[in-house]
Amino acid sequence: MKKIKNDGSFYLNPYLGGVILGTVLLLSFYISGRGVGASGAVKNTVAATVNAVAPQHVEKSAYYSQFAGGDNRPMNNWLIYEVLGVLAGAFISGIVFNRLKMKVEHSPKITSRRRLWFALGGGLVFGFGAQLARGCTSGAALSGMAVLSFGGYITMVAIFGTAFVVAWILRKNWI
């Protein structure tokens, strides 16, 4: 067996990564009866924060009261643990394979500050879109496609099509 160098140059074979992702998705359906997704964790975190700051608002709100207030415990949801596991796994992988660095990677054509603003803006737009679509790429697209949902396929085409167009428009920031 080939020894893996710990110099940050090792990356998992993408086909093996796809098989692992598919296995995790299958196990998620088998164990929890649901697919994977991350946007629900953000929704629960926001609901818990609003409940901590303004519990009267949560009780009066039809939206927030679904997730928080009363006997609801939004931070005791399996999606929260899923996202924490993903973050922990990413940090562990970064440490093990020597890729965890406190730097901003960007093209020489833009500054670190501009790169961070683009990342923040993209994350906010994507998070807003995930709420409008009632799920993120993992929940709406991957899990939807796994159960052969036509909507899952449409979502995946829309996500990648939009990403392709936006990347083409903003390419001068990276190329």
Does residue 70 surpass a pLDDT of 60? yes
Does residue 88 surpass a pLDDT of 70? yes
Name the most confidently modeled range: 16-20, 72-76, 125-129, 167-171: 16-20
Which residue shows structure tokens 């990342």?
Answer: 119
Q: Over range 140-168, report the average pLDDT.
A: 86
Cβ partners under 8 Å of residue 22, min gap 6: 146
pTM of the model: 0.71
